[in-house]
Chains A and B, each alone.
Chain A
């Protein structure tokens, strides 16, 4: 799980479904959610989280993707296992971890210092705690 601080800049609500938009270190992020706790409003500061295995990677990509969250980051570190691969991604003060298969990392020729786009579905992003 990667965690980072964020501030809510918008909440769209319909029935009990919400789309919440956050600002975090210059990035804009979107989260799909059921009912929100009453303490969660526009302007609320909180910690967001995402599982490393829910973060996909695109490199030199052109075209359209449905991922609501597409973050341009740099690979800071690569840890290879037998079948899996853990990537530490970074941009200034923003850090994110991605776990993908080693085969994908090889196929994409991923290397430290590569510029990539981290992809997170809005339903995979969650609130860890309200600050």
Chain B
């Protein structure tokens, strides 16, 4: 069980704000942490890792990492931390990079095998691809069999195929070691595939905390297929109105009745919705 109740004054993009987190996490949970940049996600991970100071308490499996301004040193905390940029030692082989963290050859070989790196163990980081380097970083962050694995957008620099592969490996390691994992991510498909619980941060506070599917699924009433967009135009055609709406990089058209259009104004934010039964799925034409 992990209990976090911390407070820290931050200087965000919109001026001063306070990171104010009160959170209980069960052993073995995979938590996704999402929210706009500057909302405090990375700061929260750094506070957990002991790299930044904060007021309050952090208790991990009956051990206080932070209490009454007494803070356990980063190296005493059972934490694995993986970032977007790896920080491997260039003058050490892959295996040496792992053993530097913890002299446990069995574990190092097991991790390398789980991530398909066994054959590369004697190579040096500069000869590896971006995806392979991130795999090594992942293995290295698991070398201390951490109570908590912190992942700060670990895959955002990789291409889609490599991401999918690494996602599977992260999940495999999470399950194998029954680690509690907290991952910062902006990618809904990644969050859906990996996490069971999602927290949304806004201005230093948790504004949503729930099962991942419930947090991610944008629904309007009983309509499960829902998007927010900007109403660009209302075109009167025959006895109906065609509403043109911009959603992300795309423009879509929706037919509404005149009565329905009475409450609409061009320029408004609108939510388009339909039941999960109506949309069709096709593969894009090549």
Show the binding face of A for B, using Cβ within 8 Å. Answer: 1, 31-34, 36-37, 40, 46-47, 49, 52-53, 79-86, 97, 99, 123-124, 126-130
Contacts and interface: CB of A to CB of B under 8 A. Distances in A.
5 contacts: A81-B240, A84-B240, A97-B257, A99-B239, A127-B223
B222 A36 contact: yes
A80 B273 CA distance: 27
Given A84-B239, A86-B239, A123-B277, A52 B221 contact: no
Given A34-B276, A130-B221, 16 more contacts: A1-B256, A33-B222, A47-B221, A52-B257, A52-B260, A53-B255, A80-B239, A81-B240, A82-B238, A86-B239, A86-B258, A97-B259, A124-B278, A126-B222, A128-B221, A129-B221
A1 B220 CA distance: 14
B11 interface: no
Contacts, number: 60
A119 to B, nearest CB: 16
A98 to B, nearest CB: 9
B73 interface: no
A54 to B, nearest CB: 9
Contacts of B223: 126-127
Interface in B257-286: 257-260, 273, 275-278
Contacts of B275: 33, 123-124, 126
B103 interface: no
Nearest to A38: B214
Given A34-B224, A123-B277, A126-B221, A83 B238 contact: yes
A97 B261 CA distance: 13
A84 B277 CA distance: 25
Contacts of B224: 34
A1 B257 contact: yes
Q: Tell which of B219, B260, B275 has the most Cβ of chain A within 10 Å.
A: B275
